[in-house]
Amino acid sequence: MNNSQIAETFENIAGLLEMKGEKVFTIRAYQRAARTIERLPMELGDMLREEQDLKALPGIGKAISEKIGEMVDTNSLHYYDRLKAEFPDGIMEVMQIPGLGPKTVRRLWLELGVTDIHGLQAAIDDGRLESLPRLGKKTAANIARQLKFKRSQNKRMPIARAQPICDRLIAALREKCPDIRQIVRGGSLRRYEETIGDIDLVCTADDPAHVLDALVSLPNVADVLGHGDTKASVYLHDNIQIDLRVVQERHFGALLQYFSGNLQHNILLRDRANQLNLSLNEYGITDKETGVIEEFADEQTLY
């Protein structure tokens, strides 16, 4: 398991523990660990192979360090599997819907019998969701919109339709943000696959916040899924998700490669880096002996 998968597992554990009513400090411990892992410039598997002490990382204690080791070694976590078994099979999928926190999911389960997204859709359709005390019509409508979006994520768009949507989006951002230096498409659209799941954009600009604010305020945006310091995700009225990352010039090449190569290609690149005693991620290439990170302003130099 890579860092992203391990961090996601800890976030899911935190959510399930909150549904169980566990103590807040236990829940927060897993959330802190997930945040630490998301920010690491080096893969945890590489750190363990170098016999680095994970407990030196912020928010990583003995118990969580051992769980990381288990996930790296076995690609699974027995504790997580046991925890999931305490809940209905489809409850995790319900919890992944934006706007549905663990406490609300627990209420839907216990009070409405909602255990999967099909049950959630039924509760929306027959009005039980909006009649749930302390929920209301506005929240129910937002949940319905998010569920519709989640289902649309499983549908891929032909590239012939996605390409002009992307072109119009880039043109709109450049018009609003003249300080954009580079903005290019990544992912399946850049690989010219026949169908596109979502549109990934990688950008450099003098004022990242301005670019991200511009994206979320575009008139074609139906919903804002995330809006941070360096990235934002939106869902367009065109029924496709846009993920935009704004990075410093020196990180552009590594990030573009990271979001352009398919899974198998990226695995092969990381394996090649390991053979050279290097670690590769979206920030650049790290020398495992010295810890020095080489950064790349363009993709060609990285290769």
Same fold yes or no, 91-153 and 165-246: no
pLDDT digit string, tens, across residues 138-192? 888 888 888 877 766 656 788 998 999 999 999 999 999 999 999 999 888 888 8
Q: Which amino acid is at 82?
A: R
Q: Where are the domains of the chain?
A: 3-84, 91-153, 165-246, 263-302
CATH class, domain 3-84, is mainly alpha
pLDDT at position 265 is 73
CATH class, domain 165-246, is alpha beta
Q: Which numeric CATH code is attached to 91-153?
A: 1.10.150.20
pLDDT at position 225 is 83
pLDDT at position 141 is 86
Q: Copy the structure tokens of residue 297.
A: 């302003």
User: What does DSSP assign to residue 181?
Assistant: E
Q: For the chain, give the secondary structure using H, E and C.
A: CCHHHHHHHHHHHHHHHHHHCCCHHHHHHHHHHHHHHHCCCCCHHHHHHCCCCHHHCCCCCHHHHHHHHHHHHHCCCHHHHHHHCCCCCCHHHHHCCCCCCHHHHHHHHHHHCCCCHHHHHHHHHCCCCCCCCCCHHHHHHHHHHHHHHHHHHCCCEEHHHHHHHHHHHHHHHHHHCCCEEEEEEEHHHHCCCCEECCEEEEEEECCHHHHHHHHHCCCCEEEEEEECCCEEEEEECCCCEEEEEECCHHHHHHHHHHHHCCHHHHHHHHHHHHHCCEEEECCEEEECCCCCEECCCCHHHHC
Q: How many helices (H) and strands (E) does the chain have?
A: 15, 10
Point out the residues of the chain with pLDDT beneath 70.
151-155, 262-263
pLDDT at position 154 is 59
pLDDT at position 101 is 86
Alpha-carbon distance of 108 to 44, in angstroms, equals: 36
User: What does DSSP assign to residue 54?
Assistant: G
pLDDT at position 152 is 63
8 Å CB contact between 90 and 117: yes
φ, ψ of residue 95 in degrees (nearest 5): -70, -20
